[in-house]
């Protein structure tokens, strides 16, 4: 978990809307807890088979665009609001 108790800009950014982190073979959804004042994440997907990863090894992408997440994964992982 990431403690962001003193960063109002970061709190507001992650509290509003959906945010995702895409890492080599994983997709995470970021969640902000107002009660605990912490940013947490849930692993939504892990690409188990070999081949090309979602991103380059050692890199990550942060996005709020559910359509783009679905396109990179190759199926409808996240439903749009």
Does residue 80 sit within a domain?
no
User: Does any domain span residue 39?
Assistant: yes
| Residue 30 structural domain | 2-73
Query: Which residue, 59, 73, 70, is CA-closest to 18?
Result: 70
Distances (CA, A) of 26 to 2, 5, 7, 59, 69: 18, 27, 27, 11, 11
Summarize pLDDT for 30-76 with one digit per residue, the tens: 887 778 878 888 999 998 887 788 888 899 888 888 888 888 888 88
- If one counts the domains in the chain, the total is 1
Quote the strand ranges of 1-81, DSSP E. Answer: 2-3, 19-23, 26-33, 38-46, 60-63
Read off the pTM.
0.73
User: Is 3 a residue whose pLDDT tops 60?
Assistant: no
Euclidean distance between CA atoms 48 and 68, whole angstroms: 20
């Amino acid at each position: 978990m990431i403690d962001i108790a003193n960063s109002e800009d970061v709190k507001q950014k992650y509290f509003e809307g959906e945010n995702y982190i895409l890492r080599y073979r994983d997709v995470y959804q970021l969640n902000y807890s107002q009660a605990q004042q912490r940013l947490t994440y849930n692993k939504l997907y892990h690409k188990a088979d070999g081949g090309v990863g979602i991103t380059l090894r050692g890199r990550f992408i942060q996005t709020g665009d559910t359509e783009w997440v679905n396109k990179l994964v190759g199926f409808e992982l996240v439903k749009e609001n």
